[in-house]
Structure 1
Amino acid sequence: MLVEETRASVVDNVHLGHIAVVNADGTLLYQYGDPNYMTYGRSALKPMQALPIVETGAAEHFSFSDADLAICCASHSGEERHRSRVRAILSQIGKDGHDLECGVTDPVNKTSHEELIRSGQQADPVCNCCSGVHAGMLATAVYLGENTQGYTHADHPVQQRVAEAVADVVGLQLKDIHTGLDGCDIPTYYMPLKHLAWGFARLARPKGLSASRANAIERIVSAMDRRPDMVTEKNIYSAKLIRAFQGRILAKEGAKGVFCLFDREREIGIALKIADGGAEPIPSVVNEILHQLGIGTKGPLEELTSYDREGIKNAPGHIVGYMEPKFKLVRA
Structure 2
Amino acid sequence: MPETAPPPYVPLVEVVRSGFREGVHYGAVVGLTASGEIGYARGDVAAPMLPRSAAKPFQAAAALRAGAPLHGPQVAIAAGSHSGEQRHADLVRATLAASGLSEDDLGCPAEWPLDRHERDRLLRSGGGPARVLMNCSGKHAAMLAACVARGWDTAGYLAPDHPVQQAVRSAIEELCGEPVAHTAVDGCGAPQLAVSLLGLARGLSAMTRADGGGPEGRVLAAMRAHPEYVAGERRDDTRLMRALPGLVSKIGAEGVIALAAPTGEAVAVKMSDGDPLGRARTMAGLTALAALGVDVAPVQDMLEAEVLGGGAPVGGVRPLPEARG
Q: TM-score, normalized by length of structure 2?
A: 0.90
Q: Which residue of 1 is the match for residue 320 of structure 2? A: 326
Instruction: Determine the C-alpha separation between the residues in 2 that align with 1:214 and 1:34.
Output: 35
Aligned to 1:193: 197
Q: Which amino acid aligns with 2:106?
A: L
1:14-163 correspondence runs (5 A): 14-23=24-33, 26-59=36-69, 64-163=70-169
Following superposition of structure 1 onto structure 2, how do residues 252-263 of structure 1 map, counting pairs within 5 Å? 252-263=250-261
Secondary structure, in 3 states, of the residue corresponding to 1:16? Answer: strand
Three-state SS of the structure 2 residue aligned to 1:271 is strand
**1:223 matched to 2:241:** no
Contact 1:87-1:97 within 8 A present in 2 as well: yes
RMSD over equivalenced CA pairs, Å: 2.0
The code of the aligned residue for 2:249 comes to A
Cα distance, 1:161 vs structure 2: 0.6
Q: Any gaps of 5 or more consecutive residues in structure 2?
A: 1-10
Q: In 1, Cα distance between the equivalents of 2:238 and 2:268? A: 17
Contact 1:8 / 1:320 at 8 angstroms: preserved in 2? Answer: yes
CA distance in 2: counterparts of 1:150 and 1:327, whole angstroms: 49
1:125/1:12 Cα in 2 relative to 1: closer, same or farther (>3 Å)?
Answer: same
Q: Find the counterpart in structure 2 of residue 274 from structure 1.
A: 271
Secondary structure (helix, strand or coil) at the match of 1:235 reads: coil
- Following superposition, the deviation at residue 229 of structure 1 comes to 0.5
Aligned to 1:304: 299
Q: Percent same amino acid at aligned positions? A: 33
Quick one: which amino acid aligns to residue 265 of structure 2?
Answer: I
Corresponding residue SS for 1:11: strand
Aligned-partner Cα distance in 1 for 2:37–2:238:
28
**Counterpart AA for 1:232:** A
Residue-by-residue CA offset, 1:204-225 (whole Å, 9 max, x unaligned): 113xxxx7x9711111111111
* SS of the residue 1:103 aligns to: coil
Task: Say if 1:205 and 1:264, in contact at 8 Å, map to a contact too.
Answer: no
**Counterpart position of 2:14:** 4
Letter in 1 for 2:203: G
Choose which of 178, 185, 210 in structure 1 pairs with 2:182. 178
Q: Conserved in 1, the CA contact under 8 Å of 2:287 and 2:319?
A: yes
After TM superposition, where is structure 1 displaced by more than 6 Å over at least 4 residues in a row?
none
Q: Distance in 1 between matches of 2:19 and 2:46?
A: 34
Q: CA deviation at 1:330?
A: 8.8
Partner Cα separation in structure 1 for residue 293 and residue 33 of structure 2: 16
Cα separation, 2, equivalents of 1:312 and 1:262: 29
Checking the alignment, whether the CA contact within 8 Å between 1:24 and 1:205 is kept in structure 2 is: no
Distance 1:113 1:252 in 2: 22
Distance 1:27 1:9, change over 3 A: same
Shift of 1:24: 6.4
SS at match of 1:107: coil
Return the offset for 1:156. 0.7
Greater CA drift, 237-246 or 82-91: 237-246
Amino acid at match of 1:325: P
**1:312 is matched by which residue type in structure 2?**
V
Distance 1:271 1:80, change over 3 A: same
| C-alpha distance in 2 between matches for 1:162 and 1:77 | 24
Separation of aligned partners in 2, 1:37 and 1:327: 24
Query: Quick check: 1:13 aligned with 2:43?
Result: no
| C-alpha distance in structure 1 between counterparts of 2:273 and 2:213, whole Å | 35
Whether contact under 8 Å (1:31, 1:329) holds in the other structure is: no
Query: 1:32, 1:328 within 8 Å by CA — same for their partners in 2?
Result: no
